[in-house]
């Protein structure tokens, strides 16, 4: 393989950094709609149409994150050795394939058990696709703008991801009503292919020379930041897995609006405050954002009306929005450029750990004491993260 020496691609201004990141945001947005479209309808589909209980709903929702976690190392290796562009392309194609597998669960005359197996297969394929897509996209973005703007790169990729979640949830509900689960699956299969067309206009990165650390060595360097991220993610995971069923249990309508509220608040916080992790340091920002997550989750736990639950979703979105880049800018600065893909893969893997724990744990809680206490579980996990963050070492210089 031809290994080129990296060139300096850091922009001279924040405005130039943003200009370079916008095409990536659009590309990730289209690809990540495959994740967003099923979020509001998949738990209800498994529970109401297939007839399985909340524990199985939790496992279905968690299975994607488990698959993503198990393939983060692969995603980082592909990104560092082949380049971010091939990683993103393969990830997009796998996301499209996953949606087709979803569709097969309803297009064929399947028993509920076979349909459930197909959903698990689709979630596993989507997990691998997401691993390659997000690891490649984050590495590509940071390479295009330089470590100085690593936080901004994470901000814009996150805006695209959660914009896709916030917009995809109600869109998925509309598609479900108009054409059924199969229509949602078909749309989710087409959108990543559209995203692939945008890659033609984005400059590829040269590969970096230098010794590459092993993946688990990378994990050893960034695990303190990842642990805080995983704990913070549990609350976010409980909301996405069980908000729809919580609304149904209260006989409320508009659960998809809760996901939209989360996504809109998430995007707004990043647009307004996205530069703070680079400017103030990630740990200072996290000490503000994690308490916001706790407040949002407590509101969801105690909400007596749906509009109050919407407020809880919005506050949770604003808090979680900057937690990821806040801890991420600290993590990525511990590693040289030739390990950036592994660093991003390892760091984002802690999101998968948090989501993977959230589904089964919250499903067990819901099965025993109902749906509202699952949000209290998430608040407790975020409280542990808040206690953990001040003990993390802060970095002062970019690599």
Tell me the pLDDT of the chain (399 aa) as tens digits.
334 334 445 445 677 888 888 988 999 999 999 988 988 788 888 888 888 888 888 888 888 878 888 888 888 888 888 888 999 999 999 999 999 999 998 887 788 899 999 999 999 999 999 999 988 998 888 888 877 788 888 888 888 887 787 788 788 888 888 888 889 999 999 999 999 988 877 777 766 555 666 667 777 778 888 899 999 999 888 887 788 888 888 888 888 788 788 888 988 998 898 888 888 888 889 999 999 999 999 999 999 999 999 999 999 999 998 898 888 888 777 676 667 777 777 887 888 788 778 878 888 888 888 889 999 999 999 999 998 887 776 654 433
Burial 307-328 (b: 16+ CB within 10 A, else e): eebbbbbbbbbbbbbbbbbbbb
CB within 8 Å of 100: residues ≥ 6 apart? 185, 189
pTM over 0.75: no
- How distant is the alpha carbon of residue 114 from its chain centre? 28
Task: Name residues whose C-beta falls within 8 Å of residue 336's C-beta, 6 or more positions apart in sequence.
Answer: 208, 210, 399
Burial class (CB in 10 A: 0-12, 13-18, 19+), 329: buried
- Helical segments of the chain, H only: 14-36, 42-44, 54-82, 84-107, 112-145, 150-179, 181-198, 215-249, 255-273, 276-280, 282-302, 306-332, 340-369, 373-388
Find the angle CA(324)-CA(352)-CA(271) to the nearest 5 degrees.
25
Domains defined along the chain, listed by start: 14-201+213-391 (1.20.1250.20)
């Amino acid at each position: 393989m031809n290994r080129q020496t990296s060139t300096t691609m850091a922009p001279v201004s924040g405005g130039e950094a943003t200009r370079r990141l916008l095409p990536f945001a659009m590309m990730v947005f289209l690809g990540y709609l495959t994740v967003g479209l099923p979020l509001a309808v998949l738990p209800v589909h498994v529970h109401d149409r297939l007839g399985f209980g909340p524990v199985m709903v939790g496992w279905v929702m968690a299975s994607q994150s488990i698959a993503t976690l198990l393939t983060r190392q692969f995603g980082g290796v592909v990104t560092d050795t082949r380049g971010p562009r091939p990683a993103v392309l393969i990830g997009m194609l796998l996301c499209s394939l996953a949606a087709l597998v979803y569709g097969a669960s309803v297009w064929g005359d399947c028993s509920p058990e076979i349909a459930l197996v197909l959903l698990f297969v689709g979630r596993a394929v989507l997990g691998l696709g997401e691993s390659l897509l997000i690891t490649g996209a984050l590495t590509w973005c940071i390479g295009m703008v330089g470590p100085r703007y690593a936080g901004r790169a994470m901000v814009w990729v996150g805006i695209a991801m959660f914009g896709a979640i916030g917009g995809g949830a109600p869109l998925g509900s509309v598609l479900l009503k108009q054409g059924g689960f199969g229509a949602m699956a078909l749309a989710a299969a087409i959108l990543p292919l559209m995203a692939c067309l945008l890659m033609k206009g984005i400059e590829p990165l040269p590969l970096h020379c230098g010794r590459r650390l092993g993946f688990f060595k990378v994990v050893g360097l960034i695990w303190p930041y990842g642990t805080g991220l995983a704990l913070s993610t549990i609350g976010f995971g409980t909301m996405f897995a069980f908000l729809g069923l919580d609304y149904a249990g209260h006989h409320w309508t508009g659960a998809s609006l809760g996901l939209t509220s989360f996504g809109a608040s998430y995007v707004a916080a990043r647009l307004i405050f996205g530069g703070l992790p680079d400017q103030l340091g990630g740990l200072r920002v996290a000490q503000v954002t994690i308490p916001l997550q706790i407040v949002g989750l407590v509101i969801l736990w105690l909400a007596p009306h749906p509009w109050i639950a919407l407020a809880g979703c919005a506050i949770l979105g604003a808090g979680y929005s900057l937690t990821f880049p806040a801890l991420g800018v600290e993590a990525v600065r511990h590693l040289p450029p030739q390990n950036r893909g592994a660093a991003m893969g390892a760091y984002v893997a802690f999101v998968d750990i948090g989501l993977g724990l959230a589904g089964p744990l919250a499903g067990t809680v819901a099965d025993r004491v109902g749906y509202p206490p699952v949000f209290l579980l998430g608040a407790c996990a975020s409280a542990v993260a808040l206690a953990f963050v001040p003990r993390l070492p802060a970095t002062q210089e970019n690599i």
